[in-house]
Amino acid sequence: MADDLKLKRAVVWKNLLIDGTDYCGLWHTAEGWLLKGTVVGVLKDRRPMLASYEIHCDENLITHRVHVERTIGNDVKTLSLSVENRGMWRSSGQELPALSTLSRE
């Protein structure tokens, strides 16, 4: 990892929603904070599932970027979200007005 990242805490826990385990690390970065983790588990229909996520926040822990990738068998889905200064969330350049209430200015 880059020199400007400092791991502050890492945790592992049993996921109660699926039969699985979560690993998560909290990093202090030049931009603020990064919550980065991985979920490995088995769904109720017995299919294996893998998910990874990154949540980027400023120094005040206000989220400004999120990336999630989920794999079930051959099915891979990704979601990337970002927020502008005025509080408008976007995914693939498209505005998401329903998420505007999640932003604090």
Q: What is the pLDDT of residues 24-39, one digit of tens each?
A: 999 999 999 999 999 9
Can you tell me the distance from the alpha carbon of 20 to that of 24, in angstroms, rounded to the nearest whole number? 13
The pLDDT assigned to 101 comes to 65
Distance separating alpha carbons of residues 10 and 23, to the nearest angstrom: 7
Name the DSSP class of 39.
E
For 73, residues 6+ apart whose C-beta sits below 8 A from its C-beta are 47, 48
What backbone torsions phi and psi does residue 30 show, to the nearest 5 degrees?
A: -65, -30
Nearby residues of 69 by Cβ (< 8 Å), 6 or more positions away:
51, 52, 53, 76, 77, 78, 79
Q: What is the pLDDT of residues 57-105, one digit of tens each?
A: 999 998 999 999 999 999 999 999 998 877 788 887 788 877 766 655 4
* The predicted structure's pLDDT at residue 102: 65
pTM: 0.83
DSSP string, 33-50: EEEEEEEEEE-TTS-EEE
Task: Specify the pLDDT at position 103.
Answer: 58
Residue boundaries of the structural domains of the chain: 6-102
